Amino acid sequence: MPRFYTRTGDKGTSTVFGGKRLSKSSPLFTALGALDETNAALGIARATAKKRKLKTIMLSLQDRLFRAGADIATPRTQKTFVRRITPQDIQRLETHIDALTKHLPPLTKFVIPGESTAGAHLHFARAVIRRAERDVTHAQKLLANPTLIPWLNRLSSLLFVLALLEDLATKKKLKYPSYRV
């Protein structure tokens, strides 16, 4: 059985694709950690989701998060086989958002997360991906792919829509839990 530790990070550094070692406090690793956390939160949401179609979308998003992580971890100077996030990936998210939004009543108030377990986890994943977006923006000088930031932005929008749909699937008469400002 393989070991699940290497000891190579014990001094506070880690390796990016291509062999370069960086401090674990690098903005690049901060961004990678936020993507990993989002993926885990999305996995919890998928495990608790009611709607099969939404579960399929979430699984696809988890796959894309792995691609985004590989994209971030691959320096721009590295010739590689890594499939980067593309403008088509952004378009795919926008297509999902537009199609799914048709199933939602108008939103006129702030939404308080917690009407459904999966919806709450999706709201949490959305908050984490927004942090990831800020972290990736901070690491922008280290990135090879400027498409990552708009992709993360659209991903947070899609997670919001998925959360609303899961809440509606749980409580058919729900108009939205809300909070007036």
Residues of the domain holding 50: 27-179
Taking residue 122's Cβ as centre, other Cβ atoms within 10 Å add up to 31
pLDDT per position as a tens digit, 82-115: 788 999 999 999 999 999 999 898 888 888 888 8
Q: Contact, 149 vs 137, CB < 8 A? A: yes
Q: How far apart are CA 47 and CA 25, in angstroms?
A: 32
- DSSP 3-state percent helix, strand, coil across the chain (nearest 5): 60, 5, 35
CATH of the domain at 60: 1.20.1200.10
Q: How far apart are CA 86 and CA 82, in angstroms?
A: 12
Determine, yes or no, domain membership for 122: yes
- DSSP state string for 109-139: SEEPS-SSHHHHHHHHHHHHHHHHHHHHHHT
Mean pLDDT of 46-60: 94
Please state the pTM of the whole predicted model. 0.87
CA 134 distance to own-chain centroid? 12
Quote the number of domains for the chain: 1
Determine, yes or no, domain membership for 91: yes
